[in-house]
């Protein structure tokens, strides 16, 4: 049984949650939660102090946790209603889609593209969006950081080189700690944190860092753990 500190909704700061059996393995659930917790932690470690709980990523996560389909126009309009251009790295905003559609790759691809277009992304960003979310999905399901999965979906040489350069800027050394990977990487903090969390799982993130995430991002607000489990369907 995997155990960790609830980072955002623990009155005492020491509550522990246990995950029940689910169709996903405990390791997959750990990596899925790691995606969310890691993204928030990466934002914190890079010192941006963005209000992550009011970001595009959190709006997407909340919609998904409520069982809403992000491929529908109604949900897309709801998510985009308060979307502010430049408020957060686009890829970071789309990160929760990876766990929202773990069981449906085509709809993950569709939601990634449509939300990118609605957010005003340029052509290259729109093309990269499903590659990013698809890479995260693959990592969560398999535990493998395999960049070839995304590269196989690119049809032009220039696009492959650009995407490889982007992913390599986020690649983490498996021998590094979570914190070192986030701090040393020359990239958007939430992206590196999401990649590290999805690769190693939430249980690899130090408890003291989980406390920092809780204390920085609106303590007493929605729990990232509960939110993640709701998206996954774990009750």
CATH code for the domain in which residue 121 is found = 1.10.4080.10
How far apart, in Å, are the Cα atoms of 120 and each of 75, 115, 123, 199?
17, 9, 9, 29
Q: Which pLDDT does position 87 carry in this prediction? A: 62
Q: Are 4 and 218 in contact (CB under 8 A)?
A: no
Q: What angle do CA 95, 90, 124 make, to 5 degrees?
A: 110
3-state secondary structure of 168: helix
Q: Which pLDDT does position 177 carry in this prediction? A: 54
Q: Which pLDDT does position 11 carry in this prediction? A: 31
Residue 152 counted as domain residue = yes
Residue 13 counted as domain residue = no
How far apart, in whole angstroms, are the C-alpha atoms of residue 219 and residue 199?
26
Residue 19 counted as domain residue = no
pTM as predicted: 0.79
Q: Which pLDDT does position 114 carry in this prediction? A: 96
pLDDT (tens digit, 0 to 9) for every residue of the chain, 235 residues total?
344 444 433 333 333 344 433 488 889 999 999 999 998 888 887 755 555 666 888 899 999 999 999 999 999 999 998 787 666 678 889 999 999 999 999 999 999 999 999 998 888 888 888 888 998 999 999 988 766 655 555 555 455 555 555 555 555 554 455 565 555 544 567 888 888 899 989 988 888 888 887 777 654 556 788 888 899 986 4
Q: Which pLDDT does position 133 carry in this prediction? A: 93
Q: Are 36 and 99 in contact (CB under 8 A)?
A: yes
Residue 2 counted as domain residue = no
How far apart, in whole angstroms, are the C-alpha atoms of residue 157 and residue 179?
34
User: Quick one: tokens of 25?
Assistant: 């393995």
How far apart, in whole angstroms, are the C-alpha atoms of residue 115 and residue 93?
10
Which candidate, 181, 83, 188, places its Cα nearest to that of 128?
188
Q: Which pLDDT does position 16 carry in this prediction? A: 34
How far apart, in Å, are the Cα atoms of 202 and each of 39, 185, 192?
11, 19, 14
Residue 10 counted as domain residue = no
Q: Which pLDDT does position 7 carry in this prediction? A: 40
Q: Which pLDDT does position 99 carry in this prediction? A: 96
How far apart, in whole angstroms, are the C-alpha atoms of residue 90 and residue 140?
20
Q: Which pLDDT does position 170 carry in this prediction? A: 53
Residue 22 counted as domain residue = no
Cβ partners under 8 Å of residue 2, min gap 6: 18, 19, 26, 27, 29, 30, 201, 202, 203
**Residue with token string 């093309």:** 127
Range of the domain at 125: 28-232
Number of domains within the chain: 1
Q: What angle do CA 129, 132, 134 make, to 5 degrees?
A: 105
Q: Which pLDDT does position 88 carry in this prediction? A: 66
Residue 20 counted as domain residue = no
How far apart, in whole angstroms, are the C-alpha atoms of residue 125 and residue 191?
14
Residue 4 counted as domain residue = no
């Amino acid at each position: 049984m995997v155990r960790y500190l609830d980072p955002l909704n623990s009155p005492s700061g020491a509550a522990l949650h246990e995950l029940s059996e689910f169709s996903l393995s405990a390791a997959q659930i750990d990596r899925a939660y790691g995606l969310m917790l890691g993204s928030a932690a990466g934002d914190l470690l890079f010192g941006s102090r963005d209000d992550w709980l009011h970001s595009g990523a959190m709006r997407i996560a909340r919609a998904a946790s409520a069982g809403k389909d992000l491929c529908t126009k109604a949900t897309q309009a709801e998510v985009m209603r308060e979307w502010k251009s430049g408020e957060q790295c686009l890829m970071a905003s789309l990160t929760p889609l990876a766990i929202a559609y773990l069981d449906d790759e085509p709809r993950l691809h569709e939601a990634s593209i449509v939300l990118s277009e609605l957010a005003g992304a340029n052509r290259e960003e729109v093309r990269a969006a499903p590659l990013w979310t698809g890479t995260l999905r693959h990592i969560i399901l398999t535990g493998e950081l395999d960049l070839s999965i995304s590269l196989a979906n690119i049809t032009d040489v220039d696009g492959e080189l650009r995407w490889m350069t982007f992913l390599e800027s986020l690649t983490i050394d498996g021998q590094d700690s979570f914190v070192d990977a986030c701090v040393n990487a020359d990239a958007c903090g939430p992206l590196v944190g999401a990649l590290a969390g999805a690769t190693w799982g939430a249980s690899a993130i130090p408890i003291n860092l989980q406390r920092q995430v809780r204390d920085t991002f609106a303590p007493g607000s929605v729990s990232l753990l509960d939110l993640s489990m709701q998206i996954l369907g774990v009750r």
